[in-house]
Amino acid sequence: MRKILIYIPFLLIALFLTFSRQIIFAGNNNEKYLQIECGEYRNDILDYIQNNWMNFFADEEIEEYAGSDIVVGEPYGVYSTDKEKMVATKFPIYVNGKCVQVLDVFEDSDGKLTWSSTISEDFLKEIDELRQKEGKYRFETKDDSNGGAPTLNIVKIDETFPRSNQDTLYSDINKPILKIKVNDRDEKTESKNVNYPTEKNITNGL
């Protein structure tokens, strides 16, 4: 009887540790945060953004952002429901906590990197609203059968159904992958090439 009483404290400690471990693991499994399906991108695209960021903004924007950080968030992918694959990778850009444009860096017909960006206020507002949500989402585009502009929708992924691609990559568009300090405009005037290709798209984010 005395031997049994000696082992009781050890048994209670073991049970407590097991129960505590289960609680911790359950908390990790139930943790929710924003995840966006993303495409792939090369490291030289980040170098391109770092070296050419001044071309993405008008002079008055750079003056307005002086002293602030331009933050490039993790990119999201755009999935074509017609082609059943990712067709673009977009980089959200934030200043002072707000999305100010969405950048697309891609190769032109000569194989050189170039860019375009979306500055539609309605679309940028959608990005900021999405950043406050939890769960998994995907940007989906679909061609118009009548020949009109393709549509773009932000779709919440229903995880109750099996996914066809279990190797899907996800990003957190809130997470910065690049920060650029905006200095006084006069210090870097020579860095901006007036002949550099510039295209800002004010449509729906495509």
Looking at the domain assignment, is residue 5 inside a domain? no
What pLDDT does 19 receive?
A: 38
Q: What is the CATH number of the domain that holds 67?
A: 3.10.500
Distances (CA, A) of 11 to 1, 3, 15, 16, 153: 15, 13, 6, 9, 56
Looking at the domain assignment, is residue 117 inside a domain? yes
Looking at the domain assignment, is residue 10 inside a domain? no
Looking at the domain assignment, is residue 92 inside a domain? yes
Distances (CA, A) of 145 to 78, 81, 138: 19, 13, 22
| Adjacent-strand bridge partners of 180 | 70
Looking at the domain assignment, is residue 1 inside a domain? no
The boundaries of the domain holding residue 100 are: 31-203
Q: From first to last of its 206 residues, what are the pLDDT tens digits of the chain? A: 554 445 455 545 554 444 333 332 222 333 468 999 998 888 899 999 999 999 999 999 999 999 999 999 999 999 999 999 999 999 999 999 999 999 999 999 999 999 999 999 999 999 999 999 999 999 999 998 888 889 999 999 876 555 555 578 899 999 999 999 998 544 444 455 544 444 555 455 66
What pLDDT does 140 receive?
A: 96
CA angle 76-49-102, nearest 5°?
40
Looking at the domain assignment, is residue 17 inside a domain? no
Q: Give the pTM.
A: 0.75
Q: How many domains does the chain have?
A: 1
CB atoms within 10 A of CB 113: 15
What pLDDT does 194 receive?
A: 43
Looking at the domain assignment, is residue 66 inside a domain? yes
Looking at the domain assignment, is residue 197 inside a domain? yes
What pLDDT does 67 receive?
A: 93
* Residues 71/179, Cβ–Cβ less than 8 Å: yes
